[in-house]
Chain A
Amino acid sequence: MLGVIIGVMAVTLVICIGQGLKEQIADQLGNFGKNVLTVTPGSGSAGLSVLTGLSSASSSLLTASDLSTVENTPGVAEAVPLATASGSATGDHTIKSPYIVATNANFPDIIHESFSSGSFFGPNDSGSVVLGARIAQKLFNDDTPLGQGLIWRGQRFIVTGVYDYFNAPPFSIEANFDNAIFMPYSAAQQASDGSLGIYRILARSSTSSSGSHVISSVRSALIASHGGADDVTVSSAIDSDGMSNQTLHLLALLVGGAAIIALIVSGVGIMDVMLVSVTERMHEIGLRKAVGATNRQILSQFIAEAFVLSAFGAVVGVALAAGAVGLLRAYTSIQAVLVWQAMVAAPVVATVVGVFFGAMPALKAARKDPIEALRHE
């Protein structure tokens, strides 16, 4: 009984904790929406540039007209440019070469991150900036520098929002948004004489999934506007998310493997308990046979007992596991979740194993002559 309870509890708990962990990590990786396309300059494969973060930006960059081409392609709901600009920024302190990201007001639609204060700038705000959490501390003495002024290239910008620390860098190591100053693309473009190159365009497709037809239509529109030159790469978020998907896949394998090991261990435990308890009762089987029980009567009794024992133990085990999951959620940072598949499969397997290994030795004992079983003390 105790063996069954502990076995079932172990299996259920391992799966619940593993699944919780997986979901936690998926949350961190997946705040980059699934229906997002990325457009990068150059025709090389997207994979390498995503991994290294060193896009082929140096050779050629996208332009403002490319942005409007993407925006106007049917199937694209909105497009967000990402460009970097140089120049020192001065708030309470001066930072010589900050990481400046020039983008537009749609940015928070695609990168879902929370703000510690304020909000992103609007579409017509040309004099506003938003700060990453770390650079906000470096620039200003104030904890919430909302409404403070920031001087960049002689122009004054007002801080309208400060991000929380980003959960995970959504693209690459290069893009550490905690250190970024987000400013309107139009303002940055004016300050750099209208020739600010875009290193990446993010586009959200209007359908829920980034269908390949949207990718190909964006691609052909860009090629057409470039006069037939195939010098852009369009990929879906799922492609550039390949790494995180692989991570999740490995994690799923890990959780599954741990669950299978726990299942085998607990199965062996249950088997052992049942084998021992039936062997101990060899004498009883002999006596029951001596007073006239047939093999079938012996067997059905032991199956019934093994079933009640295993099933009850399994239910108690699942209940204890559920309790443990609740405690873990309440008192630790492990966000275990109840996985109903595990809560059904574990007790079912435990009961099947229990009944099988309860009935098998009983059958063996029942087939003996009663006097042989009776001699067993």
Chain B
Amino acid sequence: MSLIELKDVSKLYGFGDATSVALDEVNLTIEQGECVAVMGPSGSGKSTLMNIIGLLDRPTHGDYSLGGKHVSRLGMNQRAKYRRDRIGFIFQAFNLLPRLTALDNVCLPLLYKGMSTGKRNRQAWDMLERVGLGDKAYYYPSQLSGGQAQSVAIARALVNNPALIIADEPTGNLDTGSSRLVMELLSEIHKTGNTVIFVTHNPELTRYATRVVYMQDGAIKHDEQTKLGEVGRYARAVMYTVPETTEDDDFAGVSAIMPVLDKRAEAEKAKKSKATKRKPRSRKAVKR
């Protein structure tokens, strides 16, 4: 029995002429223990798919069964309980509550489970130690770096020991070093037997996945198994779609013009210095 089974799942936004299709009859089966990377250009429906799998959103049509149970038509509170007990969600924007400490943030799912304060804190503390932030338990999110904040978010997602971890661009807001840290944590979780699904734009990160799903226009365009530690073949093929310049380079286009201006300025300088050097030479010549 598969952990996740999506059958002809569609998600539509808007009504009438303004209807837009975010997911177009997607069929997807994910087994227990897989680590799935989901790729695709923005607007291809990756996040919508994650939200539906994570029970944060409902499909417009189609059927979704999680662990053999049909969950697409469950009531709100039952879905909340599923999210609490079975699913850990990691967001691109961390989504920590700014008024709570790291420890309290991690405690949240346990709080809603009705666990006693002492037990809750102990378990949350253990989880923070596991992600390497045992010494930052009483820091507020604003006092943490991006990588640390995402680690706290991961601890929160893991604290209930859920069967399924969903990460929607977990490294989207992080630098390379922090990205690496976060991905190492996720792969460690995967190694302990959890199922992990993550969205990424970076083909390099498919090295952590056992399967790569490529989406376009709300449908799955390509689906391949890969070995751990290798970039997916299809992912490598679409690498060119990843922009080579960063946002900073594009900024006002100034950086592109600068080198040209620099060269011109240098050339001018060289001319002037030549001109000034010529004069003394000629004087010397006169002396001679």
Task: List residues of chain A with CB under 8 Å of any chain B CB.
Answer: 283-284, 287-297, 367, 369-371, 374
| A292/B51 contact (C-beta < 8 A), A287-B95, A287-B97 known | no
Instruction: Take A287-B95, A290-B83 as given contacts and tell me if A295 and B76 are in contact as well, using a CB distance cutoff of 8 Å.
Output: yes
CB distance from A329 to the nearest CB of B (A): 42
Contact A294 B81 (CB under 8 A): yes
Does B201 interact with chain A (Cβ within 8 Å)?
no
**Interface assignment of B57: CB less than 8 Å from any CB of chain A:** yes
**Cα distance, A288 to B76, chains bound together (Å):** 13
Whether B85 is near chain A, meaning CB under 8 Å from some CB there, is: yes
Contact, CB under 8 Å: A292 / B113 = yes
Chain B neighbourhood of A291, CB < 8 A: 83-84, 89, 108-109, 112, 156
Contact of A297 among B83, B95, B97, B112 (CB under 8 A): B112
B15-60 interface with A by 8 A CB criterion: 51, 54, 56-58
Q: With CB as the reference atom, state the residue of chain B lying closest to A366.
A: B76
Indicate if the CB atoms of B112 and A371 lie closer than 8 Å: no
Residues of A near B83 (CB, < 8 A) are 289-292, 370
* B54-113 interface (Cβ within 8 A of A): 54, 56-58, 76-77, 80-81, 83-85, 89, 91, 95, 97, 108-109, 112-113
- CB neighbours (8 Å) of A288 from chain B are 97, 108, 112
B97's partner among A284, A289, A369, A370 (CB-CB below 8 A) is A284
Check if B56 sits within 8 Å of A296, measured CB to CB: no
What are 7 contact pairs spanning A and B, CB under 8 A?
A: A283-B95, A291-B112, A295-B77, A295-B80, A370-B56, A370-B57, A374-B56
Complex: A283 Cα to B94 Cα, angstroms? 12
Contact of B81 among A283, A290, A292, A374 (CB under 8 A): A292
- Decide if B112 touches A294 in the complex (CB within 8 Å): yes
Pick from A284, A293, A294, A371: contact of B51, CB below 8 A: A371
Chain A residues positioned under 8 Å from B81 (CB to CB): 292, 294
The size bracket of the interface on B is 20 to 34
Contact of A292 among B57, B80, B97 (CB under 8 A): B80
B89 and chain A: residue at smallest CB distance: A290
Contact for B57 among A284, A287, A295, A371, CB less than 8 A: A371
Given contacts A371-B51, A374-B95, contact A296 B77 (CB under 8 A): yes
Q: How far is the CA of A367 from the CA of B76 in the complex (A)?
A: 8
> Beyond A287-B95, A371-B51, is A292–B56 a contact (Cβ under 8 Å)?
no
B54 CB to nearest A CB, Å: 8
> Of residues A284, A289, A296, A370, which shows the largest number of chain B Cβ atoms within 10 Å of its Cβ?
A370
Residues of B in contact with A (beta carbons under 8 Å apart): 51, 54, 56-58, 76-77, 80-81, 83-85, 89, 91, 95, 97, 108-109, 112-113, 156, 160
Please judge, given known A-B contacts A284-B97, A371-B51, whether A292 and B112 are in contact too, CB under 8 Å: yes
Grouping DSSP codes into helix (H, G, I), strand (E, B) and loop, the B interface class, with mixed when no group exceeds half, is: helix
- Distance between Cα atoms of A296 and B112 in the complex (Å): 11
CA distance A32 to B73 in the complex (A): 79
| 5 further contact pairs, Cβ within 8 A, besides A288-B112, A369-B56 | A284-B97, A290-B56, A291-B84, A292-B160, A369-B57
Within 8 Å CB of A287, what residues of B? 95, 97
Q: Tell me the nearest residue of chain B to A289, going by C-beta.
A: B80
Bound state CA distance, A7 and B108, in angstroms? 35
Q: Which chain B positions have C-beta within 8 A of A284?
A: 97
Chain B residue numbers with a CB within 8 Å of A283 are 95
Could you say which residues of chain B place their CB within 8 Å of the CB of A296? 77
**Structural contact, A293 and B112, CB atoms closer than 8 A:** yes
The 4 closest A-B pairs by CB, nearest first: A292-B84, A371-B56, A294-B77, A371-B57
* Closest B residue by C-beta to A296: B77
Given contacts A291-B89, A291-B109, A293-B80, contact A369 B58 (CB under 8 A): yes
* B160 partner residues in chain A, CB cutoff 8 A: 292
A249 vs chain B, min Cβ distance (A): 52
**Cα-based distance from A370 to B160 in the complex (angstroms):** 19
Residue of A nearest to B100 (CB): A284
Instruction: Give the complex CA separation of A297 and B84 in angstroms.
Output: 13
Q: Which residues of the partner chain A approach B56 to less than 8 Å between Cβ atoms?
A: 290, 369-371, 374
Question: When chains A and B are docked, how far (Å) is the Cα of A295 from the Cα of B14?
Answer: 26
Tell me, rounded to whole Å, the shortest Cβ–Cβ distance linking A280 to chain B: 12
Q: Verify A294–B80 contact, CB threshold 8 A.
A: yes
Alpha-carbon gap, A374 to B81, bound state (A): 18
Shortest C-beta distance, A50 to chain B (Å), equals: 68
- Nearest Cβ on chain A to B79's Cβ, whole angstroms: 9
A93 to B37, CA, bound (A): 115
**Chain B residue nearest to A377 in the complex (CB):** B93
Min Cβ gap A289→B in Å is 6
Residues on A with beta carbons closer than 8 Å to the beta carbon of B84? 291-293
Q: How far is the CA of A289 from the CA of B108 in the complex (A)?
A: 10
Are A292 and B58 in touch, CB under 8 angstroms? no
Chain A minimum-CB-distance residue to B162: A292
B87–chain A nearest beta-carbon distance, Å? 8
Q: Which residue of A lies closest to B47 (CB)?
A: A371
Note all chain B residues with C-beta closer than 8 A to A374: 56, 91, 95
Instruction: Report the separation of the CA atoms of residues A50 and B256 in the bound assembly, to the nearest whole angstrom.
Output: 99
CB distance from A106 to the nearest CB of B (A): 75
> Which of chain B's residues have a CB closer than 8 A to the CB of A369?
56-58
With both chains docked as a complex, state the minimum distance between the C-beta of A267 and any C-beta of chain B, in angstroms.
Answer: 27
Q: Closest chain B residue to A372 by CB distance?
A: B57
CA distance A374 to B54 in the complex (A): 14
A292 to B56, CA, bound (A): 10
Across the interface, name the chain A residue whose C-beta is closest to B56.
A371
- Report B-chain residues with C-beta under 8 Å of the C-beta of A293: 80, 84, 108, 112
Closest partner residue, chain B, to A367 (CB atom): B76
